[in-house]
């Protein structure tokens, strides 16, 4: 039996389509993160921080050595000061913020200039 190019073409197109990748959509921040943190930090694309002294969540998440545990520890131990925030974070909120931030880690991350 002879194969004709017309029969092979659909299979080649399907094989190529299976090889393409679609970019991973950016995760949406929880409403609490947007409301509580978005006033100072860039919490979603394009990750522009309203407060130039506050790094974006993507910038923080992509620092070397940052993990969910290190984010949690920092939020619990270092960020609950009245001069930085006018509220305290419960353990549940700390977990929520850390869980979201860690989703922003990217192997191809390019630091902000």
Dihedral of alpha carbons 66, 68, 73, 75, sign:
positive
Count of structural domains within the chain: 1
What tens digit of pLDDT does each residue of 8-67 get? 555 555 555 555 555 667 888 999 999 989 988 999 999 999 988 889 999 999 999 999
In a domain, 66, yes or no: yes
In a domain, 52, yes or no: yes
The pLDDT of residue 63: 96
Find the domain containing 70 and state its range. 27-113
The pLDDT of residue 76: 84
The DSSP secondary-structure symbol of 109 reads -
The pLDDT of residue 36: 87
In a domain, 11, yes or no: no
Structural contact between residues 98 and 51, judged by C-beta atoms closer than 8 angstroms:
no
What tens digit of pLDDT does each residue of 66-107 get? 999 999 998 887 665 556 666 678 899 999 999 999 999 999
Which tokens go with 9? 């073409």
């Amino acid at each position: 039996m002879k194969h004709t190019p017309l029969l092979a073409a659909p299979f080649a197109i399907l094989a190529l389509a299976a090889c393409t990748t679609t970019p991973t959509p950016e995760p949406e921040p929880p409403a609490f993160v947007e409301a509580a943190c978005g006033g100072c930090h860039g919490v979603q694309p394009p990750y522009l921080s309203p407060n130039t002294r506050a790094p974006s969540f993507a910038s923080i998440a992509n620092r070397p050595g940052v993990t969910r545990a290190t984010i949690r520890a920092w939020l619990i131990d270092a960020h609950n000061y009245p001069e930085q925030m006018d509220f305290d974070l419960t353990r549940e909120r700390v977990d929520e913020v850390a869980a979201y931030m860690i989703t922003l880690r990217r192997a191809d991350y390019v630091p902000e200039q």
